[in-house]
Amino acid sequence: MDHFNITGGELHAEEVPLSRIAAEVGTPVYVYSTATLQRHARVFKEAVAQAGRTRVAFAIKANPNLGVLRLLANEGLGADVVSGGELKRALAAGMKAEDIVFSGVGKTRAELALGLDEGIGQFNLELEEEGVVLAALAAERGKRAPAVLRVNPDVDAGTHAKISTGKAENKFGLPIDQARAIFDRLAPLPGLDLRGVALHIGSQLKDLAPLEAAFDRVGLLIRELRAAGHKVTHVDLGGGLGVSYREGETPPSPAEYGAMVARATKDWDVELMFEPGRVIAANAGVLVTEVLWVKPGVTHPWVIVDAAMNDLARVAIYDAWHDVAAVRPSGETFTANVAGPVCESSDVFAKARVMDKVAQGDLIVLRSAGAYGATMASTYNSRALVPEVLVSGDRYAIVASRIAAETIMDAEQVPDWLK
């Protein structure tokens, strides 16, 4: 069931007309449906529970909005974080420290120390030296850091090159064939409770086969580690499950993914951790924007909207597809380009798109913008970060927009020697 529905000729988020939010909050504005987020969290949790003992940590890079995180915390999800800032956000949103996993290829010593001081549940180590440093920091504090080794299984996830993480040439993880030797050296360190492995091969995966191949390699590694006398009680299978951005795209469902995981891991006898991001948030959000101008083009008109690549970067970076729809569709369609005001030729959301016919002043939405949308926004061209709104039934609230109003550096902030 979609919580973004046309009712009475107008697109609503749950029961709230998007035109009302646009009128009251302004545009552009991100709008998230709490019911959709809740449903996605429940469906995912239930799907992976087929595989036995499981925990789910939302990859909060996908959507670190405090309201979204609070809601997911209430659904029993933890957080997968990749920076001290994300760690603090997860805690601020009410996530329990023990439900936080710290991933990331470049954690600083200060970030490792923060994780230890807060007592987070798991560190995913990316290299041997990181394990040595973490062990020392933990020992100084009289603690043992719960940790797993992130391995790079060298599989081609079949996703966009810019979001692939599990091939040998990617910067992520340790070569899987070196994991045993590194385990031998790190496991005895008194400051570490080295208890398993982690992997994550990429994002927006549309096919389960590469994941299954990667899991099979991890299965062999678990056997090898246990044969060498190591304790393997925890395996983190990462995130990556794809979503449908456009009609006809049929990524595996969470249920199919869960069934595959159950099959692939049935002999492992470990607690499994998952780090889904996109599958929880992408289709729970839209970016609402107003048509500023319809400008004639050589082959198609340019629909110039007030949202731009600084608000939603995915199209410019990954050539991603986001569906475009009118908030009040007239029933007529036309073929047009949709672009923002930023001074870059890549600030184009759609090219030669058959879409609802719109005119100046109309509202449109860019769909599937709930993941890697607001969080990747910048202030390029001195554009303010746009507000984010959470809808629940017939209510909505603006939550944790980072800069709600325009912020302009004033002359006081310019160093004297420049004045």
Amino acid at 100: I
The CB density around residue 302, as the number of other CB atoms within 10 Å, is 16
The closest of 272, 275, 243 to 104, measured between CA atoms, is 275
Per-residue interface string for the shown chain with ligand PLP, residues 80-109, x marking contact by CB under 6 A:
x----------------------x------
Cross-strand partners of 333: 356
Q: Select 54 or 204, whichever has its Cβ closest to ligand LYS.
A: 204
Per-residue interface string for the shown chain with ligand LYS, residues 117-156, x marking contact by CB under 6 A:
----------------------------------------
The residue within the footprint of ligand PLP, chosen from 239, 340, 373, 387 (CB under 6 A), is 239
Q: CA torsion angle for 146, 134, 62, 75 (degrees, to 10)?
A: 30
Q: Select 236 or 306, whichever has its Cβ closest to ligand PLP.
A: 236
Least separation in angstroms between residue 150's CB and ligand PLP is: 8
CA distance 125 to 102: 9
- Which residue of the chain is nearest ligand LYS when measured via CB? 372
Q: Does 12 bind ligand PLP (CB under 6 A)?
A: no
H/E run at residue 326: strand 324-326
Q: Does 372 bind ligand LYS (CB under 6 A)?
A: yes
- For residue 290 the two structure tokens come to 């107003």
**Beta-strand (E) ranges in 166-319?**
174-175, 192-198, 234-236, 271-274, 285-295, 302-305
Least separation in angstroms between residue 337's CB and ligand PLP is: 28
CA distance 92 to 246: 35
Least separation in angstroms between residue 372's CB and ligand LYS is: 3
Q: Which of the listed partners (ligand LYS, ligand PLP, none) does 314 bind, with a CB threshold of 5 to 8 Å by partner kind?
A: ligand LYS
Pairing mode, strands 395-398 and 388-392: antiparallel
Residues 189-218 that bind ligand PLP (CB under 6 A): 200, 203
Least separation in angstroms between residue 171's CB and ligand PLP is: 11
Considering 298, 343, 408, 409, which one is annotated as catalytic?
A: 343
Q: Is 286 a catalytic residue?
A: no
CA distance 417 to 371: 43
Q: Which active-site residues does the annotation give? A: 343
